[in-house]
Structure formats: C-alpha cells, structure tokens
Amino acid sequence: MSRLRISRRSIVAATLAAPAILGARARAAGTIQMVSHRYPALEHYAEKMRSAVPGATVNTQLMPIDKALELITIALSSKADTIDILYANDSNFQTFVKNGWLRPLDDLWAKYRDEFKLDDFPEATRKTYTHDGKLYVIPHTLNAMMFFYRKDMFDAASKAPPKTITEYRDLAKSFNSPMRSGSVNCLKPVDAAINEAHWYFNALGDGWFDKDWRPIFNGAKGVQAIEVMKEITRSAQQGYTAAANDECMIAYQQDAGVMGLQWATRAKAMDDPAKSRIVGKIDWVAPPQGHARIAGDGYAISAFSKQDPDTLFRIIATSSNQANMRGAASLIIPPRKSLIDDAELAKANRFYPAALASYETGMPVPALPEFYQVGDFITRRILQALTGEMPVKQALDTAANETTDFLKGHGYYK
C-alpha cells in the first residue's frame, strides 16, 4: 500500500488548479472535459465534439480567449487532469509544448490518416503546429485579420478603401462622429491588443524582436508606428481599451463604427439579420500595407489527461472532418485543401477573396513560447501610451526593459 505523500508541488498545484476544478462542472466519471476560446466557428466545432463519438460524453466549456488561456495555463501548469481537450492556436501551442503540457499526436495522426483524410490538411498548416518535428494540434481554422469598412458610406462619400495606414488614419478622422466612430479598435490586453499592435509594428516598424529575441519594437520606427496608432484611436469607439473581438463585432453590427481591423471569423456575422443592423453594408479588403496577423486555431490533447487518447483524437478529428468543416466554412477559412479550393464555397461566402488576400499578405506573431507573457507587459504599456498616461517612447522602452528582464530570467540571451 503506497503512503500518502503531500509534496510542495502538489500543494501549489492544488491551490492553483482549484479555479479550474471548481469552475468546471462536477466531473462525472468518464466525462471528457474540453476548454476552448469562443467564437461562432469554435461553437460549431464544440457542438460537433459533443456528438462525435457515441457513448463519450464531452463537456465543452467555451469562453473569451484570455479566460480560456488562463484556465488552461492554471490547470496544466499544476499537471491537473481536469482538462482533456484544449484549444491551442499557432502562438500559444508553443508555450504549452515548451512546458511539456501537450501530448504529441504523430502516432494517432498516422493511425487515423486515412479514416479522417488527414492528408487533406496542407503541409504548411501542419508545420504551423509542429515543434521539434512533432505534431501537437489538429487544425480547425485558418484565420486572417481583414480590413472591415462600411462600403455604403465609402460609396456615398466617393472614397476608396485605404491603401496605407496613414490613409486609414485620415479616413477614420473624416468619418468620425459622436454616434459612429471613424475607427473600430480592439485593444483589450493581451490577445486583442497584440493583434492590432502586431500590424502597426510590422507594417510601419521593424517588427517585435531581432533574431536573438531582443526587443526591437521600441526602435524609432516602432515608436512612430504607435504614434500613428495613437492618432487613429482618437477616432475610435468608446471603450476601445477594453474591447476584444466580441465588443468590436457588436460595434460594427450596431452601426457604431466605420472601419478597422478584424478577424475573418467575424465577417459572416455582419450579414446576420438577427444580430446586425448593417446587413450587406460591410465590405472587406486586405489590411493596408499588409503584415496584419494571421493565425490558426485547433485542438490538442493534454499530456496529463487520463482519458483514452484514441477517443480524444477521434473526437477532435471528427469535429474537423470534411463534412463538419464544410459546415463551418461560412465562419472561417477552412484549413482543408479540398475546401479552400472549393469554388462553390468561395462563391457563397463573399468575404473569401479578402480573407485569402489578407492571409497571403499577413504574418503570424513571433514563434516565441513566452510571447503571451511578455505581451502582457507590452500591451499594457502601449495602452498607457495611447491613453496619454506615458509618452510613447517611454512606454515602449519600459516594455522593452520588462520584456528583456523576463526573457533573461527564462534562459534567453546566454
């Protein structure tokens, strides 16, 4: 009989995992727990997961991305088995893998290659989720930030969509009014603010980091980029500093904003008559000067799950099989070749051309496992600059110093 051992790690683990454990529904025996970010396409996939494998009960918990990542991080850092299937995107999966929190999927991928037609996923997409030669995530979406604009208003004013960010700034200013903001900005830390800052730093600046992961976003061009961003936010909607994608989507739908950067996954909702007052009035182009964020979402299996890996893989793979992905194709850019090339789908979804153009001109966030953690410093300092609490240069320098200190503490720059 083994003795009960209470270690330091187990106490901290229990403390940190408490919210995850208590936040979940009572864990019925055999119930598979899935935690995910929430937007319409992921809601569709969650529904498919619930009925994917007969006899397997899947409890899906969907929430805003910051909450989902927090919950996942707390549970997995304490090696808790309270999450079996988890949301992962092209950026945060690196963090999870580096910490040993995900189960490699190569064996299961090979086993189920034919059954789920897994070769239909392009090699480039699979590579996105590969770390040290091992695959960790089954892709569910391709996503790109597009430039949303009110075509009806642009047409009435005889204006064309902006070709540069400074044109965007000027147009936002000219369209701005108290009841309808010229620009729709989503700058809630961390994820939403990263999305926008990424565009400015890459289109107008030199990017985030050099090849050794030293911050370069605080260089002269980076400072200039955030100065332009600051000018644009003068035409932004109320509450932009706390707005994430949901709030920005609603701002467009309720006719409270004219233009801005937003994910392709939000395009279809513009034409939903049950929710939108601007059906048919929004159009999309690739973001001016390119370099906006592209990303992909998918699902991974926790390394600490006690559930049968085959069942978990089948649940994830079933939700992203060709038929189910076709069902979500109006909400995302589907990552299966057969669907990307489907002319019928392209015709049925009027945002596809802009989404594909945005994907071609966009770029992912840096493949730094600690990117979301340093993003916490950077985005808060950027917001201090935008709200006038600190000069832009000082804010970016402070963020760069905090980032350097943090990464140094994590073994970088040796």
Partner 1 sequence: MLGTVLLFPLGYAVWLSLFNYDLGHGTFEFIGLGNYGALLVDSRFWETLTRTLMIVLAAVGLEFCLGLLVAYGLYRLTFGVRTLNLLMFLPSIVTPVVAALFLRWIFIGRWGLLSATLIGLGIFPPDFLGNPGWARATVVLADAWQFTPFMILVLYAGLNTVDQSQIEAAQIDGAGIWMLLFRIMLPSIRPLIVFVLAIRLMDAFRFFDTIYVLTSGGPGTATETITLYTYALAFRLLQVGKASALGVLTLLFVAALIAVMIRLVYRRERGAF
At its nearest, how many Å lie between partner 1 and the CB of residue 59? 23
Binding mask 12-51 for partner 1 (x = CB under 8 A): x---x-----------------------------------
**Minimum CB distance to partner 1 smaller for 28 or for 179:** 179
What x-and-dash track marks residues 201-230 binding partner 1 by CB under 8 A? ------------------------------
Nearer to partner 1, 307 or 398 (CB): 398
* Residue 10 is a binding residue for partner 1 (CB under 8 A): no
Would you say 85 or 244 has its CB closer to partner 1?
244
Helix axes 65-77, 8-23, angle to 10 degrees: 150
Residue 7 lies near partner 1 (rule: CB under 8 A): no
Extract the tokens encoding 28: 């019925």
347, HSE (Cβ side, Cα atoms, 13 Å) = 3
How many residues bind partner 1 (CB under 8 A)? The answer is 45
Burial of 124 per CB tally in 10 Å (0-12, 13-18, 19+): exposed
* Count of alpha carbons within 13 angstroms of residue 183, beta-carbon side: 28
CB of 219 to partner 1, least distance (A): 21
- DSSP strand E in 85-233: where? 85-89, 130-131, 134-135, 138-150, 181-183
CA distance 108 to 116: 11
Identify residues 74-113 at the interface with partner 1 (CB under 8 A). 74, 77-78, 95, 99
CB neighbour class for 162 (10 Å; exposed up to 12, middle 13-18, buried from 19): buried
One residue of 238, 280, 353, 360 binding partner 1 per CB under 8 A: 238
Percentages helix, strand, coil for the chain, rounded to the nearest 5?
A: 50, 15, 35
Task: Provide the strand spans (E) within 138-238.
Answer: 138-150, 181-183
Options 130, 176, 322, 373; binder of partner 1; rule CB under 8 A? 373
Q: Which stretch binds partner 1 (CB under 8 A): 113-121, 150-158, 277-285, 375-383?
A: 375-383
Cα–Cα distance, 290 to 296 (Å, whole number)? 18
The minimum distance between CB 314 and partner 1, in angstroms, equals 31
Contact by Cβ (8 Å): 252, 262: yes
Strand (E) or helix (H) holding 59: strand 58-63
Q: Can you tell me which of 54, 133, 273, 409 binds partner 1, judged by CB under 8 A?
A: 409
Of the candidates 110, 389, 391, 408, which one interacts with partner 1 according to CB under 8 A? 389
**Is residue 190 reached through a cis peptide bond, with omega within 30 degrees of 0 on the bond before it?**
yes
Among 14, 160, 220, 242, binds partner 1 (CB under 8 A): 242
- Is position 414 an interface residue for partner 1 (rule: CB under 8 A)? no
Looking at residues 61 to 80 of the shown chain, list those that interact with partner 1 (rule: CB under 8 A).
70, 73-74, 77-78
384 forms part of the interface with partner 1 (CB under 8 A) = yes
Which residue's CB is nearer to partner 1, number 191 or number 297? 191
User: Closest approach of Cβ 165 to partner 1, in Å?
Assistant: 22
Tokens 């140094």 locate to: 408
- Chosen residue from 159, 327, 402, 412 binding partner 1 by CB under 8 A: 402
Q: What is the dihedral of CA 398, 403, 406, 412, to 10 degrees?
A: -140
User: Which residues are near partner 1 by CB under 8 A?
Assistant: 8, 11-12, 16, 70, 73-74, 77-78, 95, 99, 178-179, 188-190, 237-242, 250, 254, 256, 370, 373, 376, 380-390, 398, 402, 406, 409-411
